[in-house]
Amino acid sequence: MKIEELSNKNRGDLLKRPVKNFEEVEQIVNTVFNELLLNGDAAIKKYTQLFDKIKLDDFLVSDDEISEAIKNTAVDLKNAIQLAKKNIEAFHTAQKTPKVSVETMKGVLCWQEKRPINSIGLYIPGGTAPLFSTVLMLAVPAKIAGCDEIILCTPPDKNGNIHPAILYTASLCGVTKIYKVGGIQAIGALTFGTAIIPKVSKIFGPGNQYVTVAKQMATKYGVAIDMPAGPSELLVMADSTANASYIASDLLSQVEHGTDSQVILIATSKEILQKTQLEIDKQLKNLSRKEIAANALKNSKLILVKNDIEALNFINQYAPEHFIICTENQDFFVDNIQNAGSVFIGNFTPESAGDYASGTNHTLPTNGYAKAYSGVNLDSFTKSITFQKITKEGLKNIGKSIEIMAEKEGLVAHKNAVSIRLKDIL
């Protein structure tokens, strides 16, 4: 990572994410989706054997497997998961909102109520880093929202098993059914439904580029998704008061996710950039996933800015998934940040806290989508329904306006629907 000074000339290059060519990925996703439509479960078996290198005849996780996983999950890990669950429950329960009711004029009552999405699908990556924490982030708010059916799909290992911590957490959080299915075939199954796996109304969860494209493809078939998502990213804003060791640890915590992750450090102090660079080199040597992290660091940047205003403008343009503020003037960034998935304030607020146990959700918009999308929250699992009830007096009060507007739009039947009632009232 080399230090670059922000200028109008290099701004565009510094704002770029790692470039991905999705054309080949889309072709593969289309092929799998089309075969799933034709062959259902047979296609799932085929692609599980092809992609996950395991032949399975039964994808549903049994009660016995869940019981065994609960036994095999260490007590200290169970306690940690339970603490995280408690905090996530507290934060997401607080997001409940009451019915909104307004009499817009005499005799015209309008209100809004929220209803849970009945069936949701959760995709939980497995592989080298089984993300049981994501089960918490998705299943806990789904349960609070009142979703009836919570279906979880996660890829099996080479022995056809699911990581015990995923099964333990899913059981703890009230997941309805768990399937040993990963990748494109899992998203396709949740999209179309098969004899084994039910179709859902909305799909949640992170994944690799194949899962990301598959989720986007699912929307073409009438299934909603949580948000467009991509590789994990983190931006840190620092000044001379920041701790280079802490910053380096946060940057490395994100690049160990995958080789396509990206981290950025912006600072008003060249010294803190230099110190952080040395700390990254030092800490990287001790990581178990150092090769992954080292490759991801090639996508990452150290940026020197003149002042906080220049930094803020860049950050809002970049719209990071995670944004850490390590400056003396914290309030300036807290008050003026417009585009970020989740914000972490101060030297003692590591991004890992949000990933696991502080209570906020770690399923967040990436690739600049924080300009328009929120991270997963309680509302992600509900939809808002509006209601209205109009009395005779109310229709007399608004009827003439409706008639005039409908007539001017050339929608005579709309006007008649009011006029025929007004005649009876008057």
Q: Are residues 316 and 421 in the same domain?
A: no
List strand residue ranges (DSSP E) for 294-422, in order: 301-304, 322-326, 342-345, 382-390
Q: Are residues 61 and 202 in the same domain?
A: yes
Query: Average per-residue pLDDT in the chain?
Result: 95
**Chain CA centroid to CA 253, Å:** 18
Assigned domain for 379 exists: no
Residue 221: phi and psi, rounded to 5, are: -105, 20
Assigned domain for 15 exists: no
Assigned domain for 145 exists: yes
Let me know: does 324 contact 354? Beta carbons within 8 Å.
no
2-15: per-residue pLDDT in tens? Answer: 899 999 999 999 99
Let me know: does 223 contact 123? Beta carbons within 8 Å.
no
Query: Which amino acid appears at position 317 of this protein?
Result: Q
Q: Which domain holds residue 270?
A: 230-374
* Average pLDDT score over residue span 300-317: 96
Confidence check: pLDDT of 127 > 70: no
At 144, list the tokens.
Answer: 């609070």
Assigned domain for 10 exists: no
353-385: per-residue pLDDT in tens? Answer: 999 999 999 999 999 999 999 999 999 999 999
Give strand pairing partners of 108: 105, 390
Q: What does the alpha-carbon distance between residue 29 and residue 31 come to, in Å, rounded to a whole number? A: 5
Centre a 10 Å sphere on the Cβ of residue 40 and count the other Cβ atoms it contains.
18
The owner of tokens 């802490």 is 246
Q: Which of 275, 216, 313, 300 is nearest to 8 (CA)?
A: 313
Assigned domain for 126 exists: yes
Let me know: does 395 contact 104? Beta carbons within 8 Å.
no
**209, 225, 241 - which closes a domain:** 225
Q: What is the 3-state secondary structure (H, E, C) of 328-384?
A: CCHHHHHHHCCCCCEEEECCCCCHHHHHHCCCCCCCCCCCCHHHCCCCCCHHHHEEE
Three-state secondary structure call for residue 291: helix
Which range, 227-236, 287-296, 411-420, is most confident?
411-420
Q: Are residues 368 and 250 in the same domain?
A: yes
Provide the percentage of residues in the chain whose pLDDT is more than 90.
Answer: 90
Assigned domain for 6 exists: no
**206, 225, 244 - which closes a domain:** 225
**225, 250, 270 - which closes a domain:** 225
At 237, list the tokens.
Answer: 């804003």
Confidence check: pLDDT of 100 > 90: yes
Q: What does the alpha-carbon distance between residue 244 and residue 217 come to, in Å, rounded to a whole number? A: 42
Q: Which of 412, 247, 227, 216 is nearest to 327 (CA)?
A: 247
pLDDT at 426 (0 to 100): 78
242-293: per-residue pLDDT in tens? Answer: 999 999 999 999 999 888 899 999 999 999 999 999 999 999 999 999 999 9
Q: What does the alpha-carbon distance between residue 116 and residue 425 come to, in Å, rounded to a whole number? A: 38
Residue 169: phi and psi, rounded to 5, are: -65, -40
Q: Are residues 197 and 248 in the same domain?
A: no
What burial class does residue 230 get, using C-beta atoms within 10 Å of its C-beta: 0-12 exposed, 13-18 middle, 19+ buried? buried
Q: Which of 141, 125, 154, 150 is nearest to 200 (CA)?
A: 150
pLDDT at 416 (0 to 100): 98
Confidence check: pLDDT of 128 > 70: no
Q: Are residues 141 and 214 in the same domain?
A: yes
Confidence check: pLDDT of 73 > 70: yes
Helix 209-218 to helix 183-192 angle (10° resolution) is 10
Q: Are residues 147 and 289 in the same domain?
A: no
Give the domain CATH number at 82.
3.40.50.1980
Q: Are residues 197 and 293 in the same domain?
A: no
185-194: per-residue pLDDT in tens? Answer: 999 999 999 9
Assigned domain for 12 exists: no
At 194, list the tokens.
Answer: 């098969």
388-408: per-residue pLDDT in tens? Answer: 999 999 999 999 999 999 999
* Average pLDDT score over residue span 200-208: 93
Q: Are residues 247 and 277 in the same domain?
A: yes
Tell me if residue 322 is catalytic.
yes
Domain count, the chain: 3
Q: Are residues 236 and 220 in the same domain?
A: no
Query: Which amino acid appears at position 195 of this protein?
Result: A
Q: Which of 207, 146, 133, 132 is nearest to 176 (CA)?
A: 146
Q: What is the 3-state secondary structure (H, E, C) of 389-424?
A: EECHHHHHHHHHHHHHHHHHCCCHHHHHHHHHHHHH
Q: Are residues 253 and 186 in the same domain?
A: no
Residue 95: phi and psi, rounded to 5, are: -85, -5
Tell me if residue 351 is catalytic.
no
Let me know: does 60 contact 177? Beta carbons within 8 Å.
yes
pLDDT at 228 (0 to 100): 80
* Average pLDDT score over residue span 55-63: 94
Residue of 92, 163, 257, 322 marked catalytic: 322
At 282, list the tokens.
Answer: 């030092």
Residue of 92, 321, 351, 362 marked catalytic: 321
Comparing 268 with 229, the larger pLDDT belongs to 268
Q: Are residues 274 and 184 in the same domain?
A: no
Assigned domain for 103 exists: yes
Q: Are residues 56 and 164 in the same domain?
A: yes
